[in-house]
Amino acid sequence: MLRSSAQPNNKSELKIADERVALPPPQSDSQSLDRSLVSGIAWTGGTKWATQLLSWAATLVVARILSPSDFGLRGGGPNARKAVAGRVHVGWEIATMPVEHISSLVSSVTPGIFSAVQHDIVALRRYFLGVLEGLAFITLPAAAGLALIAGEFVPVVLGPQWLGAIVPLRLLALYGGVRSIDTVTPQVLIYTGNSRQSMWYSVIAACVMPVLFVVGTRWGVGGVAAVWIVAYPLVVAPQYRLAFRVLEMRAGQYFKTLWPAVSSIAIMSVAVGLVMVALPQTLAPVIRLVLEVLVGIAVYGGMIAWRHRARARAFVSIVREHAL
C-alpha cells in the first residue's frame, strides 16, 4: 500500500511529476558557446603568430639579401652573413625592446578593462583613448629619444664598428614607438567580437610587408627600415577603420589623443638638438650622451607636469584600478 500511494494516481499527475525534473540546458547552446570560445582563441592566436611572422620576415630579408658591406663589414662568406644576422638582431632588440616591454605590461591589464565594458561603447571608447594616451606618454618619447641620440648611442654603447647601424636604428626606433601604441587596437576588436577580422588584417600585413622589404633593399638597410615607417601604417589602416567604426569615433579623436605626447616630444627634440649643437665636439662621447639623455628627460617630464598632468594621472588611475 505504501509503495502504490507514492506513485501518481493518474496520467495527469505523472505528467506533472515529469515536469518537475530539472532538465539540462539544450546541448546546442552549449556547443555553440564552445565553438565561439574555440574560434575566438584561434583567431587571437592567429593574430599573434602573424605579427611574429612579420618580424621574422624583416630579419630574414635583411640578413639574406643585403650584403655585409651595407653594415660596414668587409669580406663575405658564411661568417659575414652570420655577423649581419647578429647586427640585425641586436639593432632590432635595441630599437624595439624597451617600448615593447612597456606596451606588453600595459596590455596585460587592458583585457580586463575592455572585457568589462565590451557592451558599453561609450565606456569602451573612453578606456581605449585613455590607455592609448597613457602608452603614448611613455613609449613615444622613449622611441623618439633613441632616434635622436642614436649618433652618440651607437659608438658609445655598441662600438665604432656599428656606425653603419645608426640610420636603421633611428628608423626602427620610430617604428617601435608606432608599434607600441598599435597593440591596443587589435584588443578592442577581439573583445568586441571582431577577432576574426583582426587576424586577417595581421595575415595580410604579414604577406604584403615582406614584399615591400625586398623592394626596400634597393636602398640598403635604411630602405628596409623606412618601409616600417611608411608602409606599415598604410597596411594596417583598414584595421583602424574597423576599430573606429566599432567605437563610433572619428580618426580625429584618435590623433587628438596623441597630441599631448607628440607636442611634448617636439619640444624635447628641439631642446636635445640645441644641446647637441652647443656641446663642444671635443667633449667625451659618453658625457655628451649622458647630458643629452638628461636634458631630454627633464624637458619632456617638465612639459607633461606643466601641461598634461591631469591626463597622465587619469591613465595611472586606470591602470591601478584594473591591475589590483
Percent of residues, the chain, with pLDDT higher than 90: 28
Distance separating alpha carbons of residues 65 and 120, to the nearest angstrom = 49
Q: Where are the domains of the chain?
A: 29-323
What is the DSSP-derived secondary structure letter of residue 166?
H
Least confident of 57-66, 143-152, 204-213: 57-66
Q: Does residue 9 or residue 164 have the better pLDDT? A: 164
Distance separating alpha carbons of residues 280 and 297, to the nearest angstrom = 21
pLDDT of residue 299: 96
What is the pLDDT averaged over residues 238-258?
93
pTM of the model: 0.75
pLDDT of residue 84: 63
pLDDT at residue 40 is higher than 60: no
Please report which confidence band the pLDDT of residue 256 belongs to, taking 50, 70 and 90 as the band edges.
very high
What is the pLDDT averaged over residues 133-143?
91
76 Cβ contact partners less than 8 Å away, ≥ 6 residues apart: 67, 68
Distance separating alpha carbons of residues 237 and 1, to the nearest angstrom = 80
Q: What is the mean pLDDT of the chain?
A: 77
Contact 131, 318 (CB under 8 A): yes
CA distances in angstroms from 249 to 194, 244, 282, 313, 314, listed in the order given = 17, 5, 53, 23, 20
Please report which confidence band the pLDDT of residue 21 belongs to, taking 50, 70 and 90 as the band edges.
very low
Distance separating alpha carbons of residues 163 and 322, to the nearest angstrom = 44
pLDDT of residue 95: 73
CA dihedral for 74, 76, 78, 81, sign (positive or negative): positive
Joined grid coordinates for residue 179: 608599434
pLDDT at residue 13 is higher than 50: no
pLDDT digits (tens, 9 = 90+) for 68-126: 655 555 555 566 666 666 666 677 777 777 767 777 777 777 777 888 888 899 999 99
Distance separating alpha carbons of residues 71 and 162, to the nearest angstrom = 7
pLDDT of residue 146: 92
